[in-house]
Amino acid sequence: MSAAPPSAGPLSGLVVADFSRVLAGPYATMLLADLGAEVIKVEGPGGDDTRSWVPPVRDDVATYYLAINRNKRSITLDLKDPGDLALAHELSARADVLIQNFKPGGLTRYGLDHDTVRARNERVIYCSISGFGTGAGAQLPGYDLLVQGMSGLMSLTGAPDGPPFRAGISVFDVMTGLHSAIGILSALHHRDLTGEGQHVETNLFSSALSALVNQTSAYVAGGVVPTRMGNAHLSLFPYEPLRTGDGELIVVAGNDGQFRKLAAAIGRPHLADDPRFDTVGRRNDHREELRPLLLEALATKSAQDWFGILTEAGLPCGPINTVAGGVRLAEDLGLEPVVEAGDGDDAVPTVRNPIRLSRTPPTYRLPPPALDEHGTEVRAWLTAPREDDRDR
């Protein structure tokens, strides 16, 4: 295929057939596309659901969709149409990677399940994303909000005396996308060594339990059921926003050395030698005694003043920004968070891939595609002789 500038990324030459939609799968395939893979986004006649998830919009396109679909080519295929289904089969035969997030078993009737695809393409890396796995939870719908509630995350989010809250993003969709990309890359390396393809399976619920890290470990290893603590940390204090003279500042003392620096910086060095506060464990046991002493000291200056003082002392601290403030801070730090996907008038501002590679960095070749924008060229490639694969 042609039309886009050639990729020089580490995954250049790999073809990814993307039968996924919404978030986890498209996020994973965008990461692969940023690193050079040729991602062909297969959409049904109605398109990816996120195209219609508005507001907000940019040029009448949902910004949700724009966030996770750059560097891809879109083709519309109606799997109920025999001709389109034949093209989908051909794509699965030519792909290095196929990724899908239909309900378990949902692609079997179309001949696009793992076993059938492997029969026509034994080197394929086939990635299946589900909500709750392929066992007893196979038919449960995989929505991030459900997983946040059912995994226990919402029981940990919010004020101790208030209702449970969801996180501000679809956190487990994103994590499952990351886990899927890691699994795919691992399977590709195995294929390089052995020539064998394999089935990669991820699900939102398992990703959630893994991502709850110390909280799930508290239960499975310690028999403790964590509960909501607002912005407080179960095992560290201070590790939360604290009031200053004119607003809150996040203040962190992750070990005894940091607490000693904090006590000195706020003009209360004796606190570090107080037997109630001189170790992590004792600060946790006596946090309700320590908190007012810290607040009394912090009330003498503004959040901005303390940010400068504590940062100069080498302590982790920071303001609570809006999203706009976060982007501006990244710009001030030289992280260049916004990149243009595509060129010229069609370019779309997107958030930079966070991976930095010294020799083969991510590229931003194509803006998120319109529905079936590349249908003609992809169809031409799929109907050309297989010998042309070397030129794709």
Give the pLDDT band of residue 124 (cuts 50, 70, 90). Answer: very high
- The Cα 375–Cα 369 span in angstroms is 11
CB atoms within 10 A of CB 303: 21
Helix (H, G, I), strand (E, B) or coil at 72: strand
Distance between CA atoms of residues 58 and 90, nearest Å = 35
Q: Quote the pLDDT of residue 390.
A: 42
Domain ranges of the chain: 15-212+335-391, 239-321
Catalytic residue among 48, 84, 96, 173: 173
Strands 248-252 and 239-243: antiparallel
The strand ranges marked E within the chain are: 15-19, 38-43, 57-58, 61-62, 72-76, 97-100, 125-130, 198-203, 239-243, 248-252, 317-318, 338-341, 348-351
**161 in catalytic set:** no
What's the pLDDT score for residue 5?
A: 56
- Asked if residue 388 has pLDDT above 70, the reply is no
- CA distance readout (Å), 209 to 12, 175, 217, 223: 33, 11, 9, 15
Q: Do domains 15-212+335-391 and 239-321 have the same CATH topology?
A: no
Listed as own residue / partner, the contacts of 56-62 with beta carbons closer than 8 Å and 24 or more positions apart are 58/348, 61/368
Site of tokens 């029969």? 119
Domain 15-212+335-391: give its CATH superfamily: Crotonobetainyl-coa:carnitine coa-transferase; domain 1 (3.40.50.10540)
Residue 371 pLDDT > 90: yes
Tens of pLDDT, residues 292-310: 999 999 999 999 999 999 9
Quickly name the fold that domain 239-321 has: formyl-coa transferase, domain 3 (3.30.1540)
- Judge contact between 17 and 40, C-beta under 8 A: yes
- Alpha-carbon gap, residue 7 to 160, rounded angstroms: 50
Please report, as a single letter, which amino acid is at residue 351: V
pTM: predicted TM-score of the whole model, two decimal places: 0.93
Number of C-beta neighbours around residue 167 at 10 A: 14
